[in-house]
Amino acid sequence: MLPLLCAATVKPSIKIVNGIKKSVEYTALFGVKLLTTIRLKFNLGIIMQITGRCHCGEVTYHAEVDETKVLNCHCTDCQVISSGPFRTVVLSKANAITFTASQPKEYIKVADSGNKRAQGFCGNCGTSLYATSVGEGDKIYGLRIGAIEQREQLIPKTQIWCRSSPAWLKELNTITGFDTVPNG
């Protein structure tokens, strides 16, 4: 009789497209002889390496983000905190972010839901960097794409709190636009 060994061999197969990790497939071989093959597929989304910084450069970071998790938030808190009609973020897990210079300062706000949210920003220049939950547990960070160097690649896929969006925002593409500041 053959001894049965658990996971005698585990072979990861990583699918990478354009330098981005798309998925990982594990093949586990059990026993001395090949008895069975089990394939487990973990959907990682579209993982992307990003770097970011505040305007003055005092706070810098690098992170892994899922480029399919980019959203515009039109809630009134985001409008006030960003001083704009909405705020665009990409989601990242806390353990996927590393601050490489000074640590950001945080302001704690209370949302309409009653939940506390930490708003991370540079204490020197004031650049808004992220929002995350307060307290224990797994944290998801909403990284502000304006502070991310690869922001052109982070295209919003979802919009939330649209009922709070200014009505004029829908007409924005109908007004005159310039590549830079016009003369005169």
Of 156, 131, 150, the residue nearest 141 (C-alpha): 131
Q: How confident is the model at residue 46 (pLDDT cuts 50, 70, 90)?
A: confident
pLDDT of residue 135: 84
Judged against a pLDDT cut of 80, whether residue 31 lies above it is answered with no
- Residue 151 corresponds to which tokens in the numbers above? 């922001």
Domains and CATH numbers, the chain: 9-43 (no CATH), 51-165 (2.170.150.70)
**Number of continuous H segments (helices) and E segments (strands) in the chain:** 1, 13
In this structure, what token pair is assigned to residue 52?
A: 């970011």
DSSP 88: E
Query: What is the per-residue pLDDT for 45?
Result: 67
Q: What value does the mean pLDDT of the chain take?
A: 80
pLDDT digits (tens, 9 = 90+) for 74-121: 999 999 999 999 999 999 999 999 999 899 999 999 987 788 999 999
Q: What is the pTM of this model?
A: 0.71
Q: Which amino acid is at 106?
A: E
